[in-house]
């Protein structure tokens, strides 16, 4: 199953692959070179298919837990001053996605969207300390009646050139449902209340919509 954000790219890529293979087959006479080029093109197409895959996730919805919004590796856990919305200290949990990870973004908690804003910006590497404030990004805040407001931020990286955000202001959202997509690698930051009980450690690998990153009472 492939994400809808990839349908157009997959179709165009398939056309390019077919045309390229036909051209190679009719213009390259050296057998080993012809096979190498064909294998390379097919391999690149398979990578594109893998990037846009959208596996079914089974979210055990719970208003007292914060789910990982994306697949990837936990690269930051620290107390920071969140300047855009809360203007107070929060616990930041950052998840880095490699090009091989699923890039669907999912709502970490159910509730109402109280803030949703896109920011144009730079394309620093995703692990750069200033990426959260200077890169192209989208900030979303979901207010849950049990645990309050949770902020997550989609951040573009050196390869990611388009962030897709489905979180519309004042809409009601469901934990684990699709909230967006980041094309070609990046990271997502989650900002939690200081009293959150963390369920992950640095370098842990998480699955969006299934891995619990924190619990709140």
E strands along 9-168, which residues?
A: 65-67, 72-82, 88-97, 104-106, 111-119, 137-144, 148-156, 162-165
By the 8 A CB rule, do 106 and 69 touch?
yes
DSSP state letter for 13:
H
* Beta strands per DSSP E along 28-110: 65-67, 72-82, 88-97, 104-106
Tokens read off for 203: 């370098």
- Nearest Cα to 192, choosing from 80, 91, 85? 91
Q: Which whole-number Å values give the CA distances from 93 to 77, 115, 189, 199, 201, in the listed order?
A: 5, 19, 6, 11, 9
Among the listed residues 13, 110, 186, 211, the single catalytic one is 186
Give the three-class secondary structure for 85.
coil
Q: Is 110 a residue of the active site?
A: no
Residues noted as catalytic = 186
């Amino acid at each position: 199953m492939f994400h809808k954000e990839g349908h157009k790219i997959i179709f165009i890529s398939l056309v390019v692959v077919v045309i390229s293979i036909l051209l190679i087959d009719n213009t390259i006479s050296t057998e080993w070179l012809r096979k190498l080029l064909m294998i390379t093109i097919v391999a690149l197409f398979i990578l594109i298919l893998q990037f846009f895959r959208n596996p079914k996730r089974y979210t055990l919805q719970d208003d007292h837990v914060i789910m990982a919004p994306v697949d990837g590796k936990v690269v930051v856990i620290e107390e920071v001053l969140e300047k855009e919305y809360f203007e107070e200290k929060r616990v930041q949990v950052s998840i880095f996605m490699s090009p091989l990870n699923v890039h669907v973004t999912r709502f970490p908690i159910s509730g109402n969207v109280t803030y949703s804003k896109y920011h144009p910006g730079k394309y620093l590497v995703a692990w750069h300390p200033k990426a959260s404030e200077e890169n192209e990004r989208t900030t979303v805040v979901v207010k849950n009646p049990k645990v309050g407001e949770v902020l997550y931020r989609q951040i573009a990286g050196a390869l990611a050139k388009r962030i897709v955000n489905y979180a519309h202001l004042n809409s009601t959202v469901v934990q684990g449902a699709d909230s967006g997509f980041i094309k070609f690698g990046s990271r997502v930051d989650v900002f939690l209340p200081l009293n959150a009980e963390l369920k992950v450690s640095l370098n842990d690998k998480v699955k969006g919509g299934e891995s619990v990153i924190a619990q709140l009472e």
